[in-house]
Every structure is written in structure tokens, then in C-alpha cells.
Structure 1
């Protein structure tokens, strides 16, 4: 099964721009913008649909539950209906690890684990997954649902960028008493997985797959990488965990930078296994290790300053 053309829905963001640039090296890539009233009539013939559209962040605190439902569920349904009647054979839908777990895990998460989303974002992402898997597909079409953890890279304006700004300005790191392991995925490894799926579509069946860097990394290790990259002597504050948790509880009622949910995300383990997709696609090694990916991203922040 050889594909030549790809349509990306949601190509204007960090993820879409990076993926488009990478896929253009090997495929004809078109972008479709759902904000156009007549977007369905603008879709050219294509072999692969990639759905990156979704709402993840609410930095201003004004989003409603229905905003997440519309972006993450209703628009997914619209894209699927077009895919079903199109000439395309493969739909790659980018979901999120938040569809299965958002705060902590006692072991690396696998695709068969019970889902426990606890935010409007995670719940809407899981809802879209379930709806897609319930649909009847023509025998020659496949839907691959991808669950990545936090994706980072050049141009990223998410939590890693925020952490870099704080540490590079000399702010002390107050959570040094906590030890944790987290899964991430660099944009290079994300693009690698997407290209591998497109190239080996005949090997993979409709379903959900986790992708991530091979290695986990701790928040403390990320802080050290930022310190080394920015040449800053930052103090690691080893404060009592009980004190930090008390401050976080105050943040649940008063608008300060730390609350119990944010503390859990920063200090708990949340890891994911990528072995299922690596086994199916016979992938032995990813382009970057977790540490190499973080270093590359942090260095890009330094250049952009």
C-alpha cells in the first residue's frame, strides 16, 4: 500500500507546522481549514487524512465544557464523515494520553488499561476515540488513533516553554524534594512515528496506539538541562513535601501559581509504553533519546529569545 498525498487538518499550530514541513519531504501535502464555511468542497483527492484539530489549553480560563466537546468531538465526526466517502484509505487521528490518564500512573500505561480522564479536555478526547471505534468502516479503510504524551519542540509554547522562561530568569526551583518519572515525545520522534504509520499502513490495523520517547525523564533532570543550556546557577529548594502540599491546597482557593492538580502533574509519575506500535511496525530505535529531544527543544528556546 503506497501513499503519495496527505491532507492535514489543523496545520497552523505548532504540531501542524512541524509535521507539514517534515511530510513535504516525501509527500504532496495539503492543508484544510475548517473555519472556512465551504471547507468540505476544498478537499482535494488524497491518500491519507491526518486530524490534528482539537482544543487542549485554556490559558485564559474562559473555555466552557461545550468548547472542548465541539473542537474535540464534533469536528472529529465531521472529518470522519468526509473521510468515509473520500478516496483516502487511512485516517490518523491524534488523540492524547489525557484520554486514558492525566495526573499519575503506577506503571507504564498500555492501550488496554482502563481510561480515567478527569478534565473536559481528557473526557472529550476519550469521547472522540470511542465514537471513531464504533463506526462502520469500508473494508479498504483504516482509522489509527494515536495517544501521545506532551509533545515538545521548536516553536512549542506549552508548559516546557513556561518552565524554561522561569528557570532561565533565575527563579529557584521549589520542588527539588520530589522524585518523579514522566514520558514525553519530541517533535522529531512524533514525526517519525507518523511517517512510519503512513509507510507501513498495511501492517497496522484500526485501533488505538500509544507513542512516546523510549526513555522517561524527571522534572529535576529537565531543570538541570535548562540550567546547563542557559548557563544559569539556579538554586534547587529542597522544601518539606508537607509544606509544598499545604501551599498547593491554598492554591485551590486562591489564584497562586501552584495548586493540587498542578503539583501532581509536576511531581507524580506518568509514563507510557510505546511497545505495541514499535512491535507492529518493527521499530527498534527512535531518532532521538528523551534527553536529546529535551536538549534540542531547550536550545531552540534559547535561540528564539
Structure 2
């Protein structure tokens, strides 16, 4: 079976390409090439990984996020409609639904509350896709993963690893939270299962994630275990940390209220809808096993 992937330069795209290449004929497309439509080959599946999530240089505008996450998605989907492909798998994000806090595991039926340019642009792309008329022989699968981690990940997990691996005490251990994550292995597993069993799915939105929830303190413990560090954590009083964060709302220091909420609040998601539809009982890796694998990959890169 032939599969076409769009946007494969990030760590998710690189890992997914390697995984799918074991069982499928893979074609990768870069939208940086103005003639990309002329390079499309016949395939059954289109997978859209194109997206802008980070602004490391602090230079991106709101228009930049909407151009990549919305306009380019429209271009790829329109090419899908004109092609012979039967399945369009669009990688959205949990940020299209919620970015900072949830009091219960979020389901596909919950109301959307995106806050950032990233989350809002991802949600706008979802809404546009769902409004399009699909031919009877074509299917649209929108996936919302939480934070995906794995070898090559340059996100917040890597920054946390650098902090703890250097023996710097974690200062927020007084906060206990639960969050949903996703290892790249489980991400690739879901994609493979969707391709093989797409007949079991109807078009729509599906949440994907690891089965188990993990706290930030558990992640710290895993990092220290892999690194063989005995650095004590700092359990600073919550009122002191929250006060410091409020100061950060006014003057530029590393901690502010929004960043504190993102690091210490609960944000969990239910993956039961897609697991039930595909008949999945257990994912390849537990949340802890996936994190250990990722942390070990960081260790090798040092």
C-alpha cells in the first residue's frame, strides 16, 4: 500500500516515516517546494503532519500560525479530494480543545477552549475540514494527540531533562498533577492501526494518547533514575511560588502564572473512543516505559 506524508522534517515526521517504511511504500512531500502538487504519486492514504507549534525565536506572527496550520491544510486537503487517495489523516492537537487544565479526562464531545495562536489555528483547521463535503469513497480522520515525545524531541521534556540531569533541584515538587502524554512509539502504532483498519472508523475527530496518566514529579523521578541522580527536590510553599509567578506577570522572569499553570495543572485526555473502534486493548508501551525510552535517548545525545 502506498502512503503519502506531508511535513516530515520534524521529529514526529522522521520517526513516523521510518516506522511506516517497514510495511508501506512511502512518499514524502515538502510544501516548501512550490511544485509539490506535481510530485504527488498515487497513494491510498494522505497523512498531514504539517504544522507550526513553536516560536523559539519569538518572531512568529499570528498570521504565520494560521498560514501553516490552516491555509496549508486546506491546500493539502483539496489535493486529497482531487486524488485517488481514500483516507486523509490530519494531525491536529489537544491544544485545539484545551491547552492548560482539565478537571476530567477530555473526550471528543467536550467544548473547545483553545487559548494560543497555535491552539486557535489548529481548531480553525479542524472546523474547516469538518465542514467540507466528502465523496462517499473518501474518509477524514482528525487526530488530537497531547504532547508527543521521543528520540529527537526538542520540546519542553528535553528542557526539563537538561535541568535535572545537571543536578539542579526541581523547585515545584509541592504541586501534584496528572497529565496525558504520548510516546512516539504509541503514536506510530495508532497511525498504523488506522491505516490497516480504517474500515472500522467513521470520519471525525479522535483522541490518541498513552493509556496511563503521569505527573511532573513522576517524570522527575524517571529522569533521576535514568541519570542515577540523587538530587533532592525543592518543595517550595505553593503560596510563595504563586506569588513569584504573579511577579513574573509584570516583569520578565522565567516563571509567570500561565507557565506555572501549564507545568502544575491537570490536563488529561481519554483515548477510549478510538481504542474501542479499532479493538485495541493495550498499547505497545506504557506511559512510563515510553518516558524511560525518551529520557535514555536524551542521555545518548549528551
TM class, shorter-length: over 0.9
For 1:71 and 1:39, locate their aligned partners in 2 and report how far apart those are by CA, in whole Å.
Answer: 15
TM-score by length of 1: 0.98
Which residue number corresponds to residue 73 of structure 1? Answer: 70
The CA deviation at 1:254 is: 2.1
Which residue number corresponds to residue 277 of structure 2? Answer: 280
For 2:249 and 2:58, locate their aligned partners in 1 and report how far apart those are by CA, in whole Å.
Answer: 14
Which residue number corresponds to residue 24 of structure 1? Answer: 21
**Alignment match of 1:141 (pick from 138, 142, 153):** 138
Which residue number corresponds to residue 55 of structure 2? Answer: 58
Is the aligned partner of 1:47 residue 2:28?
no
Is the aligned partner of 1:265 residue 2:269?
no
Runs of 5+ consecutive residues of structure 1 not aligned to the other structure: none
Which residue number corresponds to residue 110 of structure 2? Answer: 113
For 1:55 and 1:266, locate their aligned partners in 2 and report how far apart those are by CA, in whole Å.
Answer: 21
For 2:47 and 2:36, locate their aligned partners in 1 and report how far apart those are by CA, in whole Å.
Answer: 15
CA deviations over 1:102-125 (Å, ceiling 9, x no partner): 000000000000000000000000
State the 4+ residue runs in structure 1 displaced beyond 6 angstroms.
none
For 1:285 and 1:65, locate their aligned partners in 2 and report how far apart those are by CA, in whole Å.
Answer: 39
For 2:203 and 2:241, locate their aligned partners in 1 and report how far apart those are by CA, in whole Å.
Answer: 44
- Counterpart secondary structure, 1:49: strand
- Counterpart secondary structure, 2:26: strand
Is the aligned partner of 1:9 residue 2:6?
yes
Runs of 5+ consecutive residues of structure 2 not aligned to the other structure: none
For 2:230 and 2:33, locate their aligned partners in 1 and report how far apart those are by CA, in whole Å.
Answer: 49
Which stretch of structure 1 is more off in the superposition, 292-301 or 225-234?
A: 225-234
CA deviations over 1:159-188 (Å, ceiling 9, x no partner): 000100011011110001100000000000
For 1:252 and 1:23, locate their aligned partners in 2 and report how far apart those are by CA, in whole Å.
Answer: 44
For 2:55 and 2:251, locate their aligned partners in 1 and report how far apart those are by CA, in whole Å.
Answer: 18
**Alignment match of 2:184 (pick from 187, 197, 204):** 187
TM-score by length of 2: 0.99
Which residue number corresponds to residue 253 of structure 2? Answer: 256
Which residue number corresponds to residue 218 of structure 1? Answer: 215
**Number of residue equivalences:** 302
Is the aligned partner of 1:159 residue 2:156?
yes
The CA deviation at 1:253 is: 2.5
Which residue number corresponds to residue 205 of structure 2? Answer: 208
The CA deviation at 1:264 is: 0.6
For 2:88 and 2:202, locate their aligned partners in 1 and report how far apart those are by CA, in whole Å.
Answer: 11
